[in-house]
Amino acid sequence: MTNLVTKTDVEYDPINHQLTDIYYDAEKAESKGAIIDIHGGGWFRGNKSKDADSSIRFVKAGYLVVTPAYRITPNAFYPAPLEDMDHLFEWLKKSDLPFNHDHIGAFGSSAGGNMTVELAIKYGIPIVSLSGILDIDKWLSEHQDVVAAEGDTSGFNSTASANINQTGANDPFYKWFVTNYFNGRTDQYAEATPVHRVTDQTGQMYLANSLNEFVPTSGVLDMAQALTAHQIPYRTRMLSGSRHAKGYLDDVWDDVIRFFADTLD
């Protein structure tokens, strides 16, 4: 039985005043590890409360979870969200929260999936990325004829993550929110594409995608190739249909828990 403790709006970055929610089981003297749960939203929408559901599921699996907010457009652009995650990771490592500080992993969906991959590359921790935005420079170079279009995102904040953009490929929208992340700068595309920075010290990854969703599968395939070249163990899961990120969370949940049990516990 879980005695859930929830601490909301804990400041992890006193400079930019960024906040995180914390979830853990009070019945445990120490959780077996911590998971950073990063919400999606294309770097322009979304908030940490939207990942309360997955965070609580991880607590029930034995982990302490931190679920951070981070800076999004139009108030900040690349690489601000990644810098926020650096600050969060450093804060978490130094914290006195009740978990084994040698065991930290990350879980994220969509834009959050991109950010977990960055953490794996920088800190060598195991991560899960559901529909991560991974193919940036190559995809944009191959889709120069696509006209970027936001479309109707008015319900983005009020719509459950699992129900957003579940109708298949949407290249105009994908191009819009990816280029929006860079605020018009085209010189940052390559440096922001994580596949170029995989090393022998990169953390293990679990990468999932639907085969016909708006996030291209090329990101997973290219990352798998890079991880193979560096002999980094990884797992992939391609699902039929057009569901995006947490839209297929129930289907991959057992995989995700098994991955963290093998790499984090």
Q: How many domains does the chain have?
A: 1
Full-model pTM? 0.95
In the prediction, which pLDDT does 166 show? 58
Q: How many CB atoms lie within 10 A of CB 124?
A: 14
pLDDT of res. 168 = 79
In 75-224 the beta strands, taken as DSSP E runs, fall at 104-109, 127-130, 205-210
Strand ranges across the sheet with 4-13: 4-13, 18-25, 64-68, 34-38, 104-109, 127-130, 205-210, 234-239
Which tens digit of pLDDT belongs to each residue from 30-67? 899 999 999 999 999 999 999 999 999 999 999 999 99
Burial class (CB in 10 A: 0-12, 13-18, 19+), 234: buried
CA angle 244, 23, 59 (to 5 degrees): 70
CATH number at residue 143: 3.40.50.1820
pLDDT less than 70: residues of the chain: 1, 152-166
Cα–Cα separations (whole angstroms), residue 6 to 25, 41, 247: 9, 23, 24
Give the tokens for residue 183: 């605020």
The Cβ of residue 262 has, within 10 Å, a number of other Cβ atoms equal to 13
245 lies in which domain range? 4-263
The pLDDT of residue 169 is 86
